[in-house]
Amino acid sequence: MLVKSVQVTPGYTNFFMSEPSIFLKVTHKQALTPDVFMFDLAHPEGLSLPSFTPGAHITVKTPKGSHRHYSLCSSPNDADQWQIAIKREALGRGGSISMADGLLEGDLLEVLQCSNLFELHDAAKFHVFVAGGIGITPILSMIRHLLSQGKSNFKLYYCTRDALSTAFLEELKSPSLVDRVQLHHDHGDLQQALDFWPIFEQPIAADVYCCGPQGLMDSVRDMTGHWPSEHIHFESFGVPPTAFEQNTPFDIVLQSTGKRIHVGADVSILEALRSNGESVSSSCESGTCGSCRTGFMSGEVEHRDLVLLDDERRQNIMICVSRARSNELVLDR
């Protein structure tokens, strides 16, 4: 996956270098489902927003002060407003609750960065989109972009629990999309999950984009193992909220200095390193880009990323999402 720097318009020269961040006004907030909330964001003085590419996400500071990434679901052609949609994760770390409950129309939202780890390959002959739940957001931006270009060379498979929990349902059932969208509801029953084998059994000249829960992405990855890997693209929204409930604290030890750092159940290794003054590279912070890859010398790792191959996992850990099962993990740094 490619990290693409974003073009900026005059007045935003430093925005995507993170200094300073910009504040956008929430011009509209709407509940799309009982737990998915859509926010329209605009410049408070009506200036045009920076350009971005389909699949991009922004990093925001939530009302409670934590940093979170949310995909832009608006069309890149709309320079007047950005749109994000957030699922309120009752079992998450609190970021989505802070956004869903605490961010109101008229509020200013601090946007720290915009980047794209899920780039649409515009020139592809055909695009197969697979979205699960709130994973529809970056894919909706891609679809809106393609439609704005007069293109209809795509098919979307959108998996949700039921119609009530399906965000953007009305738009996806509109005449311009109805033939290009297959909705699938599993009613919370794994036995009723969409069977991807008939879709991917015969590779075609297409790029595949998948965003959604871990189980759905694992399934698509399994079913596309015989496709050229460069045509299969994943975007993760990170670790499932239920995984945080199972987090336990542990210590990390830095091999080079012997420094010991405690990692609490509610922080990542990456966050613990940073709060102890250690400089760490990162980008997605959801286990998909590979930039926080770190070697480890000893300890037992619980791998939660989508990057490392099995043999790489014996000596490497993605410290933004993965954790230790043992009480201590010695890192090669």
CB 53 within 8 A of CB 4: yes
Instruction: Return d(Cα 84, Cα 79) in angstroms, integer.
Output: 14
Pairing of strands 127-132, 154-160: parallel
C-alpha angle 194-196-201 in degrees, rounded to nearest 5: 160
Instruction: Return d(Cα 255, Cα 156) in angstroms, integer.
Output: 47
Q: Closest CB to ligand FES among 63 and 290? A: 290
Instruction: Return d(Cα 113, Cα 78) in angstroms, integer.
Output: 18
Q: Closest CB to ligand FES among 235 and 285? A: 285
Residue 24, strand partner residues = 109
Q: Closest CB to ligand FES among 220 and 284? A: 284
CB 37 within 8 A of CB 82: no
Q: At its nearest, how many Å lie between ligand FES and the CB of residue 1?
A: 9
Q: At its nearest, how many Å lie between ligand FES and the CB of residue 129?
A: 22
Please state the φ and ψ torsions of residue 134, each to the nearest 5 degrees: -70, -10
Q: Closest CB to ligand FES among 114 and 289? A: 289
Please report, as a single letter, which amino acid is at residue 301. V
Q: Closest CB to ligand FES among 132 and 238? A: 238
Q: At its nearest, how many Å lie between ligand FES and the CB of residue 321?
A: 6
Q: At its nearest, how many Å lie between ligand FES and the CB of residue 79?
A: 29
Binding site for ligand FES (CB under 6 A): 282-285, 287-292, 305, 307, 318, 320
In the 8-state DSSP scheme, what is residue 116? B
Question: Which alpha helices (H) appear in 149-235, and where do they start and end?
Answer: 169-172, 197-200, 214-223
Q: Closest CB to ligand FES among 117 and 139? A: 117
Instruction: Return d(Cα 171, Cα 137) in angstroms, integer.
Output: 13
Structure tokens at 231: 């045509």
Q: Closest CB to ligand FES among 16 and 37? A: 16
Sheet containing 207-211, strands listed edge to edge, beginning at the edge strand earlier in sequence:
181-185, 154-160, 127-132, 207-211, 232-235
Q: At its nearest, how many Å lie between ligand FES and the CB of residue 43?
A: 29
Residue 185, strand partner residues = 160
Q: At its nearest, how many Å lie between ligand FES and the CB of residue 237?
A: 13
Q: At its nearest, how many Å lie between ligand FES and the CB of residue 306?
A: 8
Q: Closest CB to ligand FES among 75 and 268? A: 268
Pairing of strands 250-254, 328-331: parallel
Q: At its nearest, how many Å lie between ligand FES and the CB of residue 270?
A: 7
